[in-house]
């Protein structure tokens, strides 16, 4: 197994009577990807493609072409399947090894897909769940492609199906064009620990799908959890992944035993790094008191067996030295700012849609200022598609007129991508 390591960044010093402890844990893994548990190489890749009526024409043609090329790139030792999704999920190619013959048969099935009917995503996920459940352990990754909004009558069943799929497989979601709903796909992607992005033009599918496949094939650890132990009487306020993208894992937490909670992280490649932000409420201390406020570890699960591969301690020391207790550790400050950046963008775009120009200008200006200060150039560039920036340092902006919908959706979709904290 690749080598994992963990490190905690925090200001351990707290004011007399303070009770809230914040810490950033960096988990890094390096080393060549190793084998994973499961059938074959332990990897299964599922394709869920929207074939509703709105996909007809150029989008359907581009999707078929891109998916056929994607199938051709699949390593021969993994399993894969294809679901055509409309008002029902149709398994057009069941899970099989990616041999040359099976790839040819799958491409015939893909070419035969026809765009018609509505969009009921719960049925697509149900078909995928059945296929992924055939494999025990390993890396299980799906790609869901849609160009429209889910049928409103499917809302409750979709929520239940997402819950059923949690912990079984991860799902990257891609919205094609501009008629899909960002929060809807984000709900699926967040709970199934996948990415969400826009493919504005049909001819961009091919390149995006290749990146998704490459990332999936690089994974060597199928399942891992951040395990957080807290002392008696303590309360976990939140657990968030804050790099490379913000994802609130708090509601995904599962109690392992008293004082121990697991938060899913999904699968890992042989070389990557992620940052997590914990907030823990502890019993208020007095000057001179010290305590272990938490112990965070990464636990890898293989064939039902758990292995703790990294661990770090979260401390609390109460002091009457104001200079010590008021200092905000720079990692905590940075990622708190990145979360504020994402929220300012979301709220600013919502205000813009409502026609509240003053609020939208203020919030998006605040976002420009944070992006500038933190060096988040990617988000700063996206912000410039919806506002004219007079002074990034002060957040002085003007709302742009005639903003393309695809630019607005790209900003909303990618607002949770963060800038990594700079090494000191």
pLDDT tens per residue, range 323-377: 999 999 999 999 999 999 999 999 999 999 999 999 999 999 999 999 999 999 9
pLDDT at residue 41, as a whole number: 47
What are the extents of the domains in the chain?
3-33+221-322, 43-217, 331-414
- The answer to whether domain 3-33+221-322 and domain 43-217 are alike in fold is no
Please state, in angstroms and as integers, the Cα–Cα distance from residue 216 to each residue in 42, 157, 373, following that order: 12, 28, 33
Say yes or no to pLDDT of 91 above 80: yes
Mean pLDDT, to the nearest integer, of 278-288? Answer: 96
CA 253, CA 250: separation in Å to the nearest integer?
6
Helix 330-354 to helix 405-414 angle (10° resolution) is 150
Mean pLDDT, to the nearest integer, of 372-397? Answer: 97
3-class DSSP assignment, residue 319: strand
The listed CATH number (3.30.1330.90, 3.40.50.410, 1.10.3080.10, 3.30.530.20) that belongs to domain 43-217 = 3.40.50.410
pLDDT at residue 30, as a whole number: 82
pLDDT at residue 220, as a whole number: 87
pLDDT at residue 399, as a whole number: 98
pTM of the model: 0.93
Sort 164 into a burial class: Cβ within 10 Å, 0-12 / 13-18 / 19+.
middle
- Supply 168's token pair: 């079984």
Numbers of helices and strands, H then E, in the chain: 11, 19
Mean pLDDT, to the nearest integer, of 222-232? Answer: 96
Say yes or no to pLDDT of 37 above 60: no
If one looks up domain 3-33+221-322 in CATH, what number appears? 2.60.40.3670
Q: Are strands 387-391 and 260-269 parallel, antiparallel or unpaired?
A: unpaired
pLDDT at residue 424, as a whole number: 63
55: CB partners within 8 A, 6+ apart = 63, 115, 147, 148, 176
CA 406, CA 59: separation in Å to the nearest integer?
16
Helix 182-191 to helix 155-165 angle (10° resolution) is 30
Question: Residue with structure tokens 């352990």?
Answer: 137
For residues 157 and 36, the model is more confident at: 157
Mean pLDDT, to the nearest integer, of 43-72? Answer: 97
Q: Tally Cβ neighbours within 10 Å of residue 51.
A: 26
DSSP alpha helices (H): ranges in 293-355?
322-325, 330-354
Say yes or no to pLDDT of 108 above 90: yes
User: Domain 331-414 is of which CATH architecture?
Assistant: Up-down Bundle (1.20)
Helix (H) / strand (E) containing 207: helix 205-217
Please list, residue by residue across 358-385, b when 16 or more beta carbons sit within 10 angstroms of its beta carbon and e when fewer do: eebbbbbbbbbbbbbebebeebbebbbe
pLDDT at residue 137, as a whole number: 84
């Amino acid at each position: 197994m690749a080598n994992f390591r963990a490190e905690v960044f925090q200001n351990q010093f707290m004011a007399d009577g303070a009770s809230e402890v914040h810490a950033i844990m960096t988990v890094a893994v390096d080393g060549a990807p190793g084998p994973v548990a499961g059938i074959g190489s332990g990897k299964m890749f599922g394709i869920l493609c929207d074939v509703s009526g709105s996909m007809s024409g150029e989008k359907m043609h581009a999707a078929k072409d891109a998916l056929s090329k994607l199938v051709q790139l699949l390593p021969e030792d993994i399993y894969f399947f294809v679901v055509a999704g409309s008002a029902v999920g149709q398994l057009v190619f069941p899970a099989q090894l990616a041999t040359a013959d099976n790839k040819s048969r799958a491409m015939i099935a893909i070419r035969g897909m026809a765009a018609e009917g509505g969009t009921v995503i719960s049925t697509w996920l149900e078909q995928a769940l059945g296929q992924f459940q055939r494999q025990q352990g390993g890396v299980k990754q799906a790609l869901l492609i849609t160009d429209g909004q889910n049928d409103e009558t499917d809302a409750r069943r979709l929520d239940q199906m997402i819950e059923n799929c949690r912990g079984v497989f991860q799902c990257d979601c891609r919205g094609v064009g501009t008629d899909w709903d960002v929060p809807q796909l984000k709900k699926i992607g967040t709970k199934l620990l996948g990415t969400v992005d826009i493919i504005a033009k049909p001819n961009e599918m091919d390149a995006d799908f290749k990146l998704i496949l490459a990332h999936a094939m690089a994974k060597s650890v199928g399942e891992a959890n951040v395990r957080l132990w807290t002392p008696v009487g303590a309360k976990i306020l939140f657990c968030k992944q804050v790099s490379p993208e913000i994802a609130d894992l708090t509601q995904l937490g599962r109690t392992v035993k008293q004082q121990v909670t697991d938060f899913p992280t999904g699968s890992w490649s042989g070389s990557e790094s992620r940052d997590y932000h914990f907030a823990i409420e502890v019993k208020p201390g007095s000057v001179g008191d010290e305590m272990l406020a938490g112990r965070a570890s990464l636990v890898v699960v293989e064939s039902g067996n758990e292995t703790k591969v990294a661990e770090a301690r979260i401390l609390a020391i109460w002091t009457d030295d104001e200079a010590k207790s008021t200092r905000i550790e720079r990692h905590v400050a940075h990622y708190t700012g990145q979360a504020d950046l994402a929220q300012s963008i979301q709220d600013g775009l919502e205000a813009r849609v409502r026609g509240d120009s003053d609020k939208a200008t203020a919030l998006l200006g605040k976002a420009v200022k944070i992006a500038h200060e933190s060096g988040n150039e990617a988000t700063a560039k996206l912000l410039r598609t919806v506002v004219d920036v007079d002074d990034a340092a002060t957040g002085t902006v003007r709302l742009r007129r005639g903003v393309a919908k695809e630019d607005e959706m790209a900003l909303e979709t990618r607002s949770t991508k963060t800038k990594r904290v700079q090494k000191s």
